[in-house]
């Protein structure tokens, strides 16, 4: 009913293989992007509702976009290639510190390159730490990735060169100057993040549909069978590690430069890793859309739990709210795993299917 597919014929292979084969889907995505790129700035410009406040951008949307990007990165590795990683935080940190160091030591390059090179360094380290995955599997690998996490936590703190011998170990980001345009206002920084996320999401979506993505999924579903079919595990796994680490590294550089501005090693600790892992589990492993949904859920739910009681005039101490938050998030994770192990992305898929058939059940 909502989806009138009649009359939409696929007359070419290109149309058949489109990311969004249905016109309605396409429209929704275009409208959404239009709103995100044009609508939001307009709303902010004219101070409409909550969009007039910095908080919606600085406090919610910017972290949301950056963490969605990190979640996309981790989803490539864990969701598509099946290699569980608890080291996403460390790779964000590598991206951030690499970008910082390059900006410090190679001045004169545009900021964009710093961020991308930060991702590049992260990708190289990712390949290095991906090598054990050829031998170690499953939960053992998950614990092994913790080695990367703790090792880099230590490197950021202890190796003076990384922080330019800052006495406290905390460093500051350079000015956000993109080819002469300085992103200063929250809305500018939001647009920067949005652009990065949109581009990487499109790239990732196309990557996982292609040859490489299929290799990853074959490895994930059964690595030995995939190997027998002629997929080289070395190549497939290491590309997954590299691309995933690259995206996570870029997200880390954005997190440091655009969101925090000044940061300490603790900003990329194990909590960040588990947070991103939660996002992809709740959102849906092996789904780009899921990365976004998971990030929204993990980031926005605690804020809602914080805000809702006070909106009704109920005074609850922050202590109780935070602990309650733990309980609710925990319970939701369990409930989701029990009722829909494939996450919100799957729920969305089911909803879409229902909408296509509505009002008929079949």
Partner 1 sequence: MTRTRLALAVAALTVGATAIAEPAMAQNEQFFPSLVYRTGPYAPNGVPFADGVADYWTLINERDGGINGVKIVFEECETGYATDKGVECYERLKGKGPTGAAYFSPLSTGITFALTEKVPGDKIPLLTQGYGRSESRDGTVFPWNFIALGSYWTAADVAVQYIAKEMGGLDKLKGKKITLVYHDSPYGKEPIAALEARAKKDGFTFKAVPVTHPGVEQKSQWLSIRQDRPDYVLLWGWGVMNSTAIKEAAAVAYPRDHMIGVWWSGAEPDVTPAGDQAKGYKALMLQHGPGEFKVHQDLKKYVISKGKGAAKDDFAQVLYNRGLINSMIGVEAVRTAQEKFGKKPLTGEQIRWGFENLNLTEARIKELGFEGMIKPLKFSCSDHQGADVARVQQWDGKNWKTISDYFTADQSVLGPMVKEHAAKYAKEHNITPRDCSKSS
Partner 2 sequence: MDTLGPFLEILIGGLLSGVLYSLVALGFVLIFKASSVFNFAQGAMVLLAGLALVRSLDLLIGYGFPVWAAVVLALVFAGGVMALTAYFAERFVLGPLVNQDSLTLFMATIGLAFILLGAGQIIFGSDVYPLALYPTDAWILLESVFPGGILVNKLDIWGGVIAGLLVAGLAIFFQRTKIGRALRAVADDHSAAQSVGISIDWIWFVVWLASGLVALAAATVWGTKLGVQFSIVFLALKAFPVLIIGGFTSVPGAIVGGLLIGAGEKLAEAYLGPFIGGGIEYWFAYVVALLVLLVRPQGLFGERIIERI
CB 229, min distance to partner 2, A = 11
Q: Which residues contact 75 (CB under 8 A, 6 or more apart)?
A: 280, 283, 285, 286, 287, 288, 290, 291
Q: Which residues contact 291 (CB under 8 A, 6 or more apart)?
A: 68, 71, 72, 74, 75, 279, 280, 283
Q: Taking CB within 5 to 8 Å according to partner kind, which of partner 1, partner 2, none is near residue 341?
A: partner 2
Directed axis angle between helix 138-158 and helix 270-283, to 10°?
140
Contact pattern from residue 130 through residue 169 relative to partner 2, giving x for each residue in contact according to CB under 8 A and a dash for the rest:
--x--xxxxxx-xxx-xx--xx-xx--xxx----------
Residue span binding partner 2 (CB under 8 A) among the ranges 35-43, 52-60, 168-176, 223-231: 223-231
Pick the closer one to partner 2 by CB: 41 or 132: 132
CB 341, min distance to partner 2, A = 5
Identify the H or E element spanning 263. strand 262-263
Q: With CB under 8 A as the rule, give the number of residues binding partner 2.
A: 46
Antiparallel, parallel or unpaired: β 262-263 and 171-172: antiparallel
Helices and strands, counts by H and E, the chain: 16, 4
- Show the tokens assigned to 277: 């892992």
Determine, following the binding rule CB under 8 A, whether residue 181 of this chain makes contact with partner 2: no
Burial tier of 224 (Cβ tally within 10 Å: 0-12, 13-18, 19+): exposed
Q: Taking CB within 5 to 8 Å according to partner kind, which of partner 1, partner 2, none is near residue 1?
A: none
Distance CA 200, CA 292 (A): 12
Pick the closer one to partner 2 by CB: 158 or 354: 158
Footprint of partner 1 (CB under 8 A): 49-50, 53-56, 58-60, 63, 154, 157-158, 167-170, 172-173, 175, 184, 259-267, 269, 271-272, 300, 303-304, 306-308, 310-312, 317-319, 321-323, 347, 350-351, 354
Determine, following the binding rule CB under 8 A, whether residue 222 of this chain makes contact with partner 2: yes
Bin 301: left if φ > 0, else alpha if -120 < ψ < 50, else beta: alpha
Determine, following the binding rule CB under 8 A, whether residue 18 of this chain makes contact with partner 2: no
- Show the tokens assigned to 307: 């805000």
List, in sequence order, every residue forming a beta bridge with 181; answer none if it has no partner: 178
3-class secondary-structure state, position 229: coil
3-class secondary-structure state, position 171: strand
CB 108, min distance to partner 1, A = 15
Pick the closer one to partner 2 by CB: 192 or 345: 345
Contact pattern from residue 66 through residue 105 relative to partner 2, giving x for each residue in contact according to CB under 8 A and a dash for the rest:
------------------x---------------------
Distance CA 96, CA 170 (A): 12
Chain contacts with partner 2 (rule: CB under 8 A): 84, 132, 135-140, 142-144, 146-147, 150-151, 153-154, 157-159, 222, 224-225, 228, 270, 274, 278, 281, 319-320, 322-334, 337-338, 341
């Amino acid at each position: 009913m909502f989806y009138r597919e009649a009359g939409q014929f696929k007359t070419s292979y290109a149309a058949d293989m489109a990311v969004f084969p249905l016109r309605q889907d396409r429209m929704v995505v275009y409208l959404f992007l239009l709103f995100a790129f044009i609508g939001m700035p307009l709303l902010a410009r004219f101070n409409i509702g909550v969009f007039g406040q910095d908080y919606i951008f600085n406090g919610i949307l910017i972290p949301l976009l950056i963490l969605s990007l990190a979640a996309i990165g981790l989803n490539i590795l864990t969701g598509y290639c099946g290699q569980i990683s608890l080291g996403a935080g460390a790779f964000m940190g590598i991206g951030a510190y690499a970008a910082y160091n390059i900006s410090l030591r190679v001045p004169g390059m545009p900021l964009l390159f710093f961020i991308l090179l930060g991702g590049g360094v992260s990708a190289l380290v990712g390949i290095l730490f991906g090598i054990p995955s050829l031998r170690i599997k499953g939960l053992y690998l998950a614990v092994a990735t913790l080695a990367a996490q703790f090792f880099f936590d230590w490197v950021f703190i202890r190796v003076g060169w990384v922080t330019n011998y800052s006495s406290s170990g905390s460093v500051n980001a350079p000015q956000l100057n993109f080819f002469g345009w300085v992103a200063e206002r929250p809305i500018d920084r939001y647009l920067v993040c949005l652009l990065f996320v949109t581009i990487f999401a499109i790239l990732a979506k196309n990557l996982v549909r292609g040859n490489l993505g299929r290799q990853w999924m074959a490895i994930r579903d059964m690595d030995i069978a995939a190997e027998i079919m002629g997929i080289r595990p070395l190549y497939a796994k290491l590309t997954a590690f590299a691309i995933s680490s690259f995206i996570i590294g870029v997200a880390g550089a954005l997190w440091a430069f655009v969101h925090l501005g000044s940061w300490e090693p603790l900003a990329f600790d194990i909590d960040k890793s588990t947070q991103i892992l939660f996002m992809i589990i709740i959102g849906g492993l092996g789904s780009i859309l899921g990365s976004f949904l998971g990030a929204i859920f993990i980031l926005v739910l605690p804020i809602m739990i914080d805000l809702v009681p006070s909106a009704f005039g109920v005074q609850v101490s922050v202590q109780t709210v935070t602990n309650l938050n733990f309980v609710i998030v925990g319970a939701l994770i369990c409930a989701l795993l029990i009722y829909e192990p494939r996450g919100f992305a799957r729920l969305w898929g089911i909803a879409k299917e229902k909408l296509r058939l509505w009002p008929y059940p079949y």
